[in-house]
């Protein structure tokens, strides 16, 4: 009987101590800076790298990467990125366009948790010389402090869509932001370079 009481007391002590450590660990975990982005890359007529990105605090920026081909790396879906690597892709010249309401942004971020790169359609070439537009959300790993890009939709020379539940709503929202500020022309329904090889 005494052994059971000692075991119960030790268990209670471990549970209470474990809760404290868990709270401290949770409080010390880093938070993500980036939530969403539209990344445009085109090498057909010179080098063009531009887009918008939205930070977790709601700030929406447009950017232009001017460092040239040698210092630029295309964003791919099969790699995790450190924050400084994303900052390099987004370039040094960013302009704040809007601060999005935190309640609305949190709702969109919650919806982005249901999408993943396992739900992508087959990639298909539809154009030439139109570049690549990637509409993205980012999964942040607080342990490694890295970001995994999640494709919502790709347009341009090659098209691909995410079929996850909330992908269409996120696509429309990001597209609306780009069109609000006339950052991009999304009129690829009838590509003038269709099937040119």
Per the domain annotation, does 70 fall within a domain? Answer: yes
- Indicate the number of domains in the chain: 2
Which is nearest to 88 in space by CA: 97, 79, 78, 75? Answer: 75
19 and 51 co-located in one domain = no
Instruction: Note the pLDDT of residue 9.
Output: 40
Please name which of 74, 88, 78, 87 lies closest in space to residue 33, comparing C-alpha atoms: 87
Question: Are 6 and 97 within one domain?
Answer: no
Q: 24 in a domain, yes or no?
A: yes
pTM, two decimal places:
0.79
Could you tell me if 136 and 175 are in contact, meaning their C-beta atoms sit under 8 angstroms apart? no
Q: Which two tokens stand for residue 172?
A: 């429309």
Both 21 and 103 in one domain: the answer is no
DSSP 12-63: HHHHHHHHHHHHHHHHHS---SEEEEEEEEE-TTS-EEEEEEEETTSEEEEE
Q: How many angstroms separate the CA atoms of 89 and 70, rounded?
A: 12
pLDDT in single tens digits along all 197 residues of the chain: 434 333 334 444 444 455 445 455 455 778 999 999 999 888 777 677 888 999 999 999 998 876 655 556 788 999 999 999 999 888 777 899 999 999 999 999 999 999 999 999 999 999 888 888 999 999 999 999 999 999 999 998 999 999 999 999 999 999 899 888 876 665 545 554 443 33
| Contacts with 167 (C-beta within 8 Å, 6 or more apart), sequence order | 115, 119, 152, 153, 161
Q: Answer yes or no: is 75 within a domain.
A: yes
What is the pLDDT at residue 26? 53
Statement to judge: residues 83 and 44 lie in one domain = yes
Angle made by CA atoms 86, 91, 93, in degrees to the nearest 5: 135
pLDDT of residue 75: 87
Q: 43 and 81 share a domain?
A: yes
């Amino acid at each position: 009987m005494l052994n059971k009481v000692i075991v119960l007391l030790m268990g209670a002590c471990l549970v209470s101590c474990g809760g404290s450590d868990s709270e401290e660990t949770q409080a010390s975990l880093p938070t993500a800076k980036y939530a969403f982005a539209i990344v445009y890359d085109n090498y057909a007529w010179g080098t063009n790298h531009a887009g918008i990105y939205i930070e977790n605090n709601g700030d929406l920026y447009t950017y232009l990467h001017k460092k040239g081909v040698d210092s630029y790396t295309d964003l791919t879906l099969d790699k995790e990125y450190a924050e400084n690597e994303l900052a390099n892709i987004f370039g040094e010249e960013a302009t704040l366009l809007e601060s999005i309401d935190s309640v609305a942004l949190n709702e969109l971020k919650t919806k982005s948790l249901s999408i993943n790169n396992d739900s992508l359609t087959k990639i298909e070439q539809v154009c030439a010389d139109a570049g690549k537009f990637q509409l993205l959300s980012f999964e942040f790993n607080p342990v490694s402090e890295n970001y995994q890009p999640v494709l919502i939709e790709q347009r341009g020379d090659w098209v691909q869509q995410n079929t996850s539940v909330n992908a269409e709503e996120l696509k429309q929202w990001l597209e609306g932001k780009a069109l609000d500020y006339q950052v991009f022309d999304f009129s690829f329904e009838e590509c003038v370079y269709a099937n040119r090889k």
